[in-house]
Amino acid sequence: MSETRQRILDTARALFNERGLHRVGVRDIARATDMSPGNLAYHFRTKDDLVSALILELHERNARDIFTELPPAISLSVLYRSAVATMRNILRYRFVLLSYVDAVMASPKLLELEAALRIKRRRRHDALIDGLVSGGYLDRRAVSRARYLDEQGQMISSGWLRAAELQGWHDDEAIILHYAKVGTALLEPYCTPKGAREMRKILAGAFDEDLSPPAAPAGARAE
């Protein structure tokens, strides 16, 4: 990816996060990058193209940094850590949770992209469940009867930041740890005894001290 294209994406992401998806236009992004709208259109013809590129960037970041090296058999603590890491990534794209649904419903292009990503997310969900079964943390017969588990997870993953805002919570790290536990706890009814023991540790915060966010490099700008 060219340096100019990445600069446009980084600027658009910052503006979307700050003002909301619907309050930022292509001209705003062009002005913030010291480009003319015509020059910006050379890289991204429409605002939908920009949003699509950012959504793909987030998806690829998660796939590369978090899920690419998960072994066939995993533990619930690994799942919890992965949820925390994913949610930290999402915070860099707050607009995804705060206004993405409205944007998707108004855009055939984004609706098509979301349909493709939904399939990939479902495959990842199934692979994670299989890994937890293989690791002895979930009962295969019990989880096979969980008709709405994926849908419940999607509801949490798409709404956790909005829910935190409605409750007036502002500590991002505390919010992440709370909702990562909420998502992980969906699996509690399907745990084996081994899984139940680890689930209790997760919900009690036993792993949280080891999950401190990485320190920002000196001089780094907050996003």
Q: Give the tens place of pLDDT for each residue, 169-222.
A: 999 999 999 999 999 999 999 999 999 999 999 999 999 988 876 554 444 444
What pLDDT was estimated at residue 13?
A: 95
Which carries the bigger pLDDT value, residue 66 or residue 135? 135
What superfamily in CATH does domain 1-45 come from?
A: Homeodomain-like (1.10.10.60)
HEC assignment per residue over the chain: CCHHHHHHHHHHHHHHHHHCHHHCCHHHHHHHCCCCHHHHHHHCCCHHHHHHHHHHHHHHHHHHHHHCCCCCCCCHHHHHHHHHHHHHHHHCCHHHHHCHHHHHHCCHHHHHHHHHHHHHHHHHHHHHHHHHHHCCCECHHHHHCCCCHHHHHHHHHHHHHHHHHHCCCCCHHHHHHHHHHHHHHCCHHHECHHHHHHHHHHHCCCCHHHHCCCCCCCCCCCC
Range of weakest confidence among 26-30, 122-126, 199-203: 122-126
37 pLDDT more than 80: yes
As a CATH number, domain 47-211 is 1.10.357
What pLDDT was estimated at residue 1?
A: 60
Mean pLDDT value across residues 39-45: 93
Range of weakest confidence among 20-24, 51-55, 88-92, 106-110: 106-110
What pLDDT was estimated at residue 121?
A: 86
Query: What percent of the chain shows pLDDT beyond 70?
Result: 94
Which part of the chain is CATH 1.10.10.60? 1-45
What pLDDT was estimated at residue 217?
A: 43
Which part of the chain is CATH 1.10.357? 47-211
Q: What is the pTM of this model?
A: 0.84
What pLDDT was estimated at residue 214?
A: 57
Which carries the bigger pLDDT value, residue 106 or residue 110? 110
Mean pLDDT value across residues 118-122: 88
Q: What is the mean pLDDT of the chain?
A: 89
